[in-house]
């Protein structure tokens, strides 16, 4: 009986494929008089610091005429922001990111997660992640990537706060959005973009490294915690126009394949007009159990 019990406890869990797409529009979009079908949230408006709500004639088209723009008074409290993530209730999670200079973003606040309430639109501090032992002026960045596992209501956040040119001190945190507490951590990893995939028969968190072009993955258990060691699954090295892109963003398409947004990253601030981004598509080869660039 003991042998049988041990055998089954070691069996690797298999999970059904999921799109992991549970995000919902915040209620406040409509209450502010915006058309939800033509509206979007942005943190990349060059002349407007913080989060803004925009209604456009053709959402998704950067050249489309903007019908109206609004900003809740609280949406500037985090300074310049970068990642935006929506949960199944329409709550928004975001974090500070320096823009050209660190003037409006204190380095001490770069490990702070902010939450925008789906009903009121009020932005408040959700969680301040543990910070490095000393503030490092060589590295202006903190939180960079976010991903959300719908099944377990878990927010994954990557931060490179405290890392130096030759010293990797970043972490990936798993955070319960229900309790607001940290439930797990991958320590000593400088990671950028994060994404979730179920295509291999397990829940996996994919993340791009900040110091090279490799993409790693780590399995997630039924509680949303990390299971086992992270492993390299593929790389952007040698492909694309620059050959050494880092991962800004990872997402899964409707078939479970990965869409990678790659860009230059060297722990320094780059003016927006100099940022060049390339889209990479990877498909999973079930016969050989590996990811391959889409041809």
Give the lowest-confidence range in 79-93, 221-235, 266-280. Answer: 266-280
Is residue 27 in a domain? no
Is residue 116 in a domain? yes
Q: Check which CATH number belongs to the domain holding 257 and give it.
A: 2.120.10
Report whether pLDDT(195) > 50: yes
Is residue 9 in a domain? no
Is residue 2 in a domain? no
pTM of the predicted model as reported, rounded to 2 decimal places:
0.91
Average pLDDT over residues 107-125: 94
Q: Do the beta carbons of residue 263 and residue 280 sit within 8 Å?
A: no
- Which structural domain, as residue segments, surrounds residue 183? 93-293
Q: Provide, rounded to the nearest whole percent, the portion of the chain with pLDDT above 70.
A: 90
Q: Quick: pLDDT tens for 207-254.
A: 999 999 999 999 999 999 999 999 999 999 999 989 999 999 999 999
DSSP-assigned states of every residue in 177-232: TTT--EEEEEES--EEEEEEE-TTSSEEEEEEESSSSEEEEEEE-TTS-EEEEEEE
The pLDDT value recorded for residue 9 is: 39
Is residue 144 in a domain? yes
Average pLDDT over residues 102-107: 76
Query: Between residues 281 and 277, which one has the greater pLDDT?
Result: 281
Q: Quick: pLDDT tens for 8-37.
A: 334 567 899 999 999 999 999 999 999 999
Q: The tokens 């040119």 sit on which residue?
A: 165
Domain count, the chain: 1
Is residue 159 in a domain? yes
Mean pLDDT for all residues in the chain? 89
Is residue 57 in a domain? no
- Under the banding of pLDDT at 50, 70 and 90, the label for residue 270 is low
Is residue 75 in a domain? no
Q: Do the beta carbons of residue 158 and residue 194 sit within 8 Å?
A: yes
């Amino acid at each position: 009986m003991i042998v049988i019990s041990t055998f089954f406890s070691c069996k690797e869990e298999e999970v059904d494929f999921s799109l992991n797409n549970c995000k919902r529009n915040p209620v406040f979009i409509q209450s502010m008089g915006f058309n939800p079908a033509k509206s979007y949230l942005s943190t990349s408006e060059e002349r407007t610091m913080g989060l803004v709500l925009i209604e456009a004639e053709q959402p998704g088209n950067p050249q489309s005429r903007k019908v109206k723009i609004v900003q809740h008074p609280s949406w500037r409290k985090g300074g310049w922001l970068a990642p935006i993530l929506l949960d199944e209730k329409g709550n928004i999670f975001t974090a500070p990111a320096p823009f050209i200079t660190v003037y409006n973003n204190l380095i001490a606040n770069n490990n702070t997660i902010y939450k925008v309430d789906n009903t009121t639109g009020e932005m408040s501090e959700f969680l301040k992640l543990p910070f490095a032992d000393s503030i490092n002026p060589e590295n202006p960045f903190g939180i960079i990537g976010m991903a959300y596992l719908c099944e377990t209501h878990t927010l994954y956040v990557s931060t490179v706060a405290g890392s130096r040119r030759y010293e990797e001190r970043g972490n990936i945190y798993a955070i319960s959005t229900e309790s607001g507490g940290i439930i797990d951590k991958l320590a000593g990893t400088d990671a950028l973009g994060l994404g979730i995939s179920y295509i291999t028969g397990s829940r996996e968190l994919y993340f791009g490294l900040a110091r090279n072009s490799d993409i790693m993955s780590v399995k997630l258990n039924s509680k949303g915690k990390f299971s086992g060691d992270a492993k390299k699954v593929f790389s952007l090295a040698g492909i694309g126009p620059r050959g050494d892109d880092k991962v800004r963003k990872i997402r899964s398409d409707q078939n479970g394949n990965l869409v990678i947004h790659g860009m230059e990253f060297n722990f320094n601030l780059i003016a927006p007009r100099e940022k060049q981004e390339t889209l990479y598509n990877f498909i999973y080869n079930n016969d050989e159990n590996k990811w391959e660039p889409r041809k």
